[in-house]
Amino acid sequence: MNLSLQLERTAHSMPTKSAFIFQSQQTSYQELNGAVTKLASQLEALGCKKGDHIALITGNSPHFIIGLYAALRIGAVVVPINPMYTIPEMLYILKNGHVKTVIMLDVLIPKFVEMEKDLPAITNYIACESGKMGQFDSNLLSGKIKSFATLVSNGNLDYKPPIINEGDTALILYTSGTTGHPKGAMLSHKNLYSNAKDVADYLQMNEDDRVVAALPMFHVFCLTVSLNAPLMNGGTVLIVPKFSPHAVFELTKTYEATIFAGVPTMYNYLLQAGIPDHKADFSSVRLCISGGASMPVALLKNFEKTFGVIISEGYGLSEASPVTCFNPLDRPRKPGSIGTSIKNVENKVVDEFGEVLPPGEVGELIVRGPNVMKEYYQMPEETAVTLKDGWLYTGDMARMDDEGYFYIVDRKKDMILVGGYNVYPREVEEVLYAHPLVAETAVIGVPDPEAGEAVVSFVVAKDASLTEEMLRDFCKEQLAPYKIPSKFEFIEELPKNTTGKIMRRSLRDHVKQ
């Protein structure tokens, strides 16, 4: 079984059901599956074959969904790319990922004209009409450019796809690359299908659910939780082209959304914008899902109290397709926890020798299951470090309680060593988030000649009256002296990547300046 075949089955069983809604336009499962089949036939006619690498650079749109499932249907390997990447960032992935065909937004054509000389291996450019440009010149890019809409329109509904094996690579997902060049996690059809099915089952998604896709579709969190999982069971995807609190509230209210998935910063923005004007707009939402980074407990409790909806915090990573844990819906949710292992996935906490640690002790979280990647693309050394004896070593420090609930303490590489004592940034951030005048905060370690490292906190204040002395006094009540930041730096906004994760590397670079 694979995602494309599952889409075909759903289209057969509920043809008129809405698969997705985009800019007030509803598309049924039958219409979606037909567009996928037509594009698949045209991709093959253009010379694309099973195993070829196809880049998908479209942002949140129907183009992404149709392009993804059409490429999977012919057995191609999809390489999703952030449309906002710079030319050097795109070039690295396109060349490292051995891409032969590019499906892109038409507004990116000028960028590809500039890159064309460095991409001789690309044989097809397929431009998706965004409505922001007029008709493009078909002679551009050496005449290799085609219209997405025209291809779909001229496609063949009788197309017969090749046989797809569950172990075949379906996706090469390049990690965010917070340090050095990004690595391409190779995910198989089994990886993607199993995780989408297990997530849908775990969260009890069904055909009545309307899931808000506000996260970037090129990121695996949205790809699995907000796209593949609802389509697995006949749900409807509500596409948000670009996240904004207003767009989310409007879509949620108009179509009575039932599930919202986001990263903690999104919840923070919704909370700030939602009081008091938009509380009723979330009344139809039965479940919120948080991942991508640890959610401060204070933020979680404030959001739930304001909107009257439970947030189920989970955990995942690109290399695991991505979900490994969720707070269960049939048992008490534990604030601050990433929950328990989802069906078919094992998580455990180990020491530096790979030995399992008892409940309560902090070690590295490792994962095993049908969702774990095959390998990193053409990086055997990196693969050997990350995959050992069938287990994926996540690089995250965690602990497990007596009931099997896991808690992320921090990234292994983000741990701060102050005078021989371990300081986990999240612990300090949790305390600071509890201060009523703190909107956002991030804690990092910086070199210190005496203690080895010092703790520094970057703070976005809700009010200009907040001072460093007030924060230090607040921390003294709840933290050991060595955990208290030696410096509080007030900034207007924390640097974030496109998925809303705080870029700690940028903060470290800021300190060096």
Q: Per the omega criterion (within 30 degrees of 0), is the bond before 276 cis?
A: yes
Q: Which helix (H) or strand (E) holds 468?
A: helix 468-476
Give domain 189-411's CATH architecture.
3-Layer(aba) Sandwich (3.40)
Q: What pLDDT score was predicted for residue 513?
A: 63
pLDDT at 495: 93
Which contiguous run of DSSP H or E holds residue 445? strand 438-448
Residue 421: pLDDT over 80: no
User: For the chain, what is the mean pLDDT?
Assistant: 93
Mean pLDDT over residues 435-459, rounded? 91
Tens-place pLDDT, residues 209-237: 999 999 999 989 999 999 999 999 999 99
Q: How many CB atoms lie within 10 A of CB 315?
A: 30
405-421 burial string, b = 16+ CB within 10 Å, else e?
bbbbbbbeebbbebeee
- Considering the entire predicted model, what is its pTM? 0.87
pLDDT in tens, 103-117: 999 999 999 999 999
> What pLDDT, on a 0 to 100 scale, did the predictor assign at position 176?
59
Question: Would you give the end-to-end CA distance of the chain in angstroms?
Answer: 53
Amino acid identity at 33: N
CA distance 396 to 464: 35
Closest residue by Cα to residue 147 from 156, 157, 137: 137
Q: Report the percentage of the chain scoring pLDDT > 90.
A: 80
Closest by CA to 299, choosing from 500, 433, 408, 407, is 433
Q: Tens digits of per-residue pLDDT, 252-285? A: 999 999 999 998 889 988 998 877 778 889 999 9
Question: Could you tell me where the DSSP H helices lie in 256-379?
Answer: 264-274, 297-307
Q: Is the pLDDT of residue 178 over 70?
A: no
Give the C-alpha separation, 262 to 277, whole Å.
20
In this predicted model, what pLDDT tens digit does every residue of 296-355 receive, in sequence order? Answer: 899 999 999 999 999 999 999 999 999 999 999 988 889 999 999 999 999 999 999 999
Span 407-424, mean pLDDT? 82
Calculate the CA 131 to chain-centre distance: 26
* Contact assessment for residue 57 and residue 71, using Cβ atoms and an 8 Å cutoff: no
Question: How far apart are the C-alpha atoms of 435 and 461, rounded to whole Å?
Answer: 10
10 Å CB burial of residue 158 (0-12, 13-18, 19+) is exposed
441 contact partners, CB below 8 Å, separation of at least 6 = 429, 432, 433, 457, 458, 459, 460, 494
Q: Rounded to 5 degrees, what angle do the CA atoms 343, 368, 341 make?
A: 35
Q: Are 394 and 347 in contact (CB under 8 A)?
A: no
Q: Which two tokens stand for residue 336?
A: 């601050």
CA 349, CA 398: separation in Å to the nearest integer? 7
Q: What is the pLDDT of residue 279?
A: 84
Angle, helices 29-45 vs 62-73, to 10°: value is 60
CB-based contact 17:32 (threshold 8 Å)? no
Tokens read off for 335:
């604030």
pLDDT of residue 177: 45
Give the distance from CA 492 to its chain's centroid: 25
Domain range annotation of the chain = 3-164, 189-411, 415-512
- The domain over range 415-512 is classified in CATH as 3.40.50.9100: no
Across 131-140, average pLDDT: 85
Tell me, what's the pLDDT at 180?
57
SS (H, E, C) 101-151: EEEEEHHHHHHHHHHHHHCCCCCEEEEECCCCCCCCCCCCHHHCEEEHHHH
Amino acid at 146: K
Q: At CB < 8 A and 24+ separation, what contacts does 159-164 make?
A: 159/37, 159/38, 159/40, 159/41, 159/44, 161/4, 161/40, 161/73, 161/74, 161/75, 162/50, 162/74, 162/75, 164/2, 164/4, 164/5, 164/50, 164/72, 164/75, 164/189
Question: Is the per-residue pLDDT at 179 higher than 60?
Answer: no
Q: In this predicted model, what pLDDT tens digit does every residue of 57-90 receive, in sequence order?
A: 999 999 999 999 999 999 999 999 989 888 888 9
Q: How far apart are CA 222 and CA 215, in angstroms?
A: 5
- Out of 3.90.1170.40, 3.30.750.24, 3.40.50.2300, 3.40.50.980, the CATH code matching 3-164 is 3.40.50.980
One fold for 3-164 and 189-411: yes
Closest CA to 423 of 351, 481, 468: 481
